[in-house]
A and B are shown apart, each in its own frame.
Chain A
Amino acid sequence: MNVIIVGFGFIGRKLVRAFYKKIDLIRNVDASFKVIGVSDSKGYLYDSKGLDLERLSYVKRLSEYSGKYREGGSTEEIIEKGEADLMVEATPTNINDGEPGLSFIKAALKKGIHVVTSNKGPLVVAFKELTSLAEKNDCLLLYEGTVAGAVPVFSLVRKCLQGDIIRRIVGILNGTTNYILSRMYFEGTSFELALKEARERGLTERDPSYDVDGIDAACKAVILANALMNRNVKFEDVKRTGIRRVTQEAISLAKKSKFAIKLISTIDKHIEVSPKLVPINHPLCVHGTLNAIHIETDLAREITLIGHGAGEETVSAVLNDVLTVMKETASPI
């Protein structure tokens, strides 16, 4: 399988490292696995014979990998070459129009290239369009890394809850706000101080409103609703309240009644992101930067998943998607 990686930032680079470290495991699934192209916003590397993963895992910028770099070359060009079987897309999230990821994913699917993405933007903006396009072109489109990082929620439902109907999902889908609320709960700090700490630890986006006003959590709720509950919802359909007004007093009063306050995404009749009281003995009540997803179904009734919602751990989800594509598209011998 020929793979191209679009976006060579945090996720793109960590993925290359994982490919390099786990090459034996990967080649066991598909002996012909190779990475033939990698692009960022300034250019790309391309080699039909396969790039050297060891060399690639030590470069910070693509231009440092001498010989194969094409400055000013675009991602569209490497898609158009038509040699790739799978594109891993990890460009920055843009929830307004999904670009540049949306155009890349569409171009790849139209060429019959399977897609694995960790980028929420395109899925929030055009979920139905992309899944239909994938189906029409007989391609897989997998996106485990987009919601709750390493937590394998889509794979779990796809593989292990095939006969269940999902009635309701509630979850802590944003690690930054969970960190802030946990600091307020355990240390008694104010919202402002906890936010400052989160920023210093590099946990917030450049614009913290993305986290604290529930925008990120709302995007993830949209993807969950569309992917797992067969809805057709958009970002605007989410009723959204952030955590800016959650005071230390509110948290103390909640604590006295054995509740913690968490930013919760709820998908049932309505889709909502808002601060909620979570009983401290409820499985969803996890602290720090952890994420948790509680699924209610007709048969299994309740399942809770807990794990790391962002950071390096996300590579686990992306790699698993890549392996899934290899296994599910392997031609029977």
Chain B
Amino acid sequence: MKFDLTIALADRPGQLLKALKPIAKNGGNIISIIHERENPSAGFVPVSLVVDFPSKWNMQKTINDLRKIGVTLIKAEEVVDTAHITAILVGKADLERIVQEGLRNAEIIGFEVSAPTSKDACLKLEIEVPTDLLDETLENLRRVAESEDSLVILPI
């Protein structure tokens, strides 16, 4: 399980090393570190880490240990793998319904419409979907589009 952690470190030597110890101790595997030394604020430097933990519990334990040694946690959230999908719909579909029913799990990050008033209205959607919900989401989109009598064209 990957987590995105942002911590605030005092702008003094040795602080980063101190903060990494509880992570390693609790089974975390560090995937990336961004240490923003250039923008300290009020004597603190933000550090962003992506860490792979064996479970949520290991992550929770790490947060507690970090608190104990006085490291401030700014953000901790699970990183969800997402897929970026382009889909094209042809037909005069009810956009609102497609978004509400067909794309419940997806985030729409872009769209483009051409000939919106004709019976061959054409809509291109750029969506982001958590990878584990991809099949379900595309199936939903297809079902809703079909019930609206529009053609949905998905990537191979």
- B: interface residue count bin: 10 to 19
Residues from chain A with a CB closer than 8 A to the CB of B88 are 250, 253-254, 261, 277
A274 to B, closest residue via Cβ: B153
Taking the complex as formed, is A276 at the interface, i.e. its CB lies under 8 A from any CB of chain B?
yes
Instruction: State in angstroms the CA–CA spacing of A247 and B92 once bound together.
Output: 13
Assuming A254-B88, A266-B156, is B151 touching A275 (CB within 8 A)? yes
Nearest-Cβ distance from residue A306 to partner chain B, whole angstroms:
15
Instruction: State in angstroms the CA–CA spacing of A279 and B156 once bound together.
Output: 8
Instruction: State in angstroms the CA–CA spacing of A246 and B151 once bound together.
Output: 8
Nearest-Cβ distance from residue B145 to partner chain A, whole angstroms:
11
Tell me if A259 and B151 are in contact (CB < 8 A).
no
Task: Mark each residue of chain B from 140 to 156: 1 if its CB lies under 8 Å from any CB of chain A, else 0.
Answer: 00000000000101111
A278 to B, closest residue via Cβ: B156
Tell me if B114 and A249 are in contact (CB < 8 A).
yes
CB contact list, A207-245 vs B, under 8 A: 241, 245
Tell me if B154 and A276 are in contact (CB < 8 A).
yes
Instruction: State in angstroms the CA–CA spacing of A277 and B114 once bound together.
Output: 17
- Contact stretch, chosen from B44-52, B53-61, B93-101, B120-128: B120-128
Residues from chain B with a CB closer than 8 A to the CB of A279 are 155
Tell me if B90 and A246 are in contact (CB < 8 A).
yes
Nearest-Cβ distance from residue A268 to partner chain B, whole angstroms:
11
Instruction: State in angstroms the CA–CA spacing of A246 and B120 once bound together.
Output: 9
Instruction: State in angstroms the CA–CA spacing of A278 and B122 once bound together.
Output: 18
Count contacts between A and B, CB distance < 8 Å. Answer: 62
Contact of A246 (CB < 8 Å), options: B87, B114, B153: B153
Tell me if B124 and A257 are in contact (CB < 8 A).
yes
Taking the complex as formed, is A206 at the interface, i.e. its CB lies under 8 A from any CB of chain B?
no
Tell me if B156 and A250 are in contact (CB < 8 A).
no
Residues from chain A with a CB closer than 8 A to the CB of B86 are 254, 257, 259, 277
A285 to B, closest residue via Cβ: B156
Residues from chain A with a CB closer than 8 A to the CB of B81 are none
Taking the complex as formed, is A74 at the interface, i.e. its CB lies under 8 A from any CB of chain B?
no
Tell me if A247 and B120 are in contact (CB < 8 A).
yes
B156 to A, closest residue via Cβ: A276
Instruction: State in angstroms the CA–CA spacing of A249 and B124 once bound together.
Output: 10
Nearest-Cβ distance from residue B139 to partner chain A, whole angstroms:
10
Taking the complex as formed, is B24 at the interface, i.e. its CB lies under 8 A from any CB of chain A?
no
Nearest-Cβ distance from residue B36 to partner chain A, whole angstroms:
34
B155 to A, closest residue via Cβ: A277
B87 to A, closest residue via Cβ: A277
Residues from chain B with a CB closer than 8 A to the CB of A293 are none
Instruction: State in angstroms the CA–CA spacing of A119 and B88 once bound together.
Output: 35
Instruction: State in angstroms the CA–CA spacing of A253 and B91 once bound together.
Output: 14
Taking the complex as formed, is B115 at the interface, i.e. its CB lies under 8 A from any CB of chain A?
yes
Nearest-Cβ distance from residue B57 to partner chain A, whole angstroms:
35
Taking the complex as formed, is A159 at the interface, i.e. its CB lies under 8 A from any CB of chain B?
no
Taking the complex as formed, is B112 at the interface, i.e. its CB lies under 8 A from any CB of chain A?
yes
Nearest-Cβ distance from residue A266 to partner chain B, whole angstroms:
7
Instruction: State in angstroms the CA–CA spacing of A170 and B151 once bound together.
Output: 20
